[in-house]
Amino acid sequence: MCLDSSKTKQKAFIRDLKFGKDKYVKLWKVFDVDEEDNLVAQFHDYKFKKGKNTAKGEFIKTYSGGKSDYQYKPGFHCFSNKKDAEAWEFESNNMYNRKRVVLPVKVRKSWITNVGIQSGNLVLVCKHIFI
């Protein structure tokens, strides 16, 4: 997933998010579902677990696994609302032909590493997500 981004807009958007008393905000994530009903990453080899998940990697990869020309801190792409996540679920390239689901996740402010536009929708990149 590639992202168009602006640092000024990022800071303003993150500042305006409504975090609960538990210091989390609810976002929406599109997950692929493998043959064993595990939640897995859409384009890379990552199996999610219940609880806190942490993104790994040194650089952003293209769909084919090479280094992308556009770099930012690796993380999980989440949407600010369910409607945008469902649009991505429907429109995105499903190269593994797997079932997809849209689920809520929770993140803390400090976990958000980037904010940008993906296919016309606002996307937040998060170092960690809580399922």
Provide the residue ranges of all domains of the chain, joining segments of one domain with +.
4-130
Q: What's the mean pLDDT in 104-115?
A: 93
- Per-residue pLDDT tens over the stretch 45-83: 789 999 999 987 665 555 566 666 665 666 888 999 999
pLDDT at 129: 97
100 by Cβ neighbours in 10 Å (0-12 / 13-18 / 19+) ranks as middle
Which of the 8 DSSP states describes residue 72? -
Higher pLDDT, 46 or 112: 112
- Token code pair at residue 90: 């429907």
**Looking at residue 112, what is its pLDDT?**
92
Q: What is the structure's pLDDT at 1?
A: 44
Give residue 27's pLDDT band: very low, low, confident or very high (50, 70, 90). very high
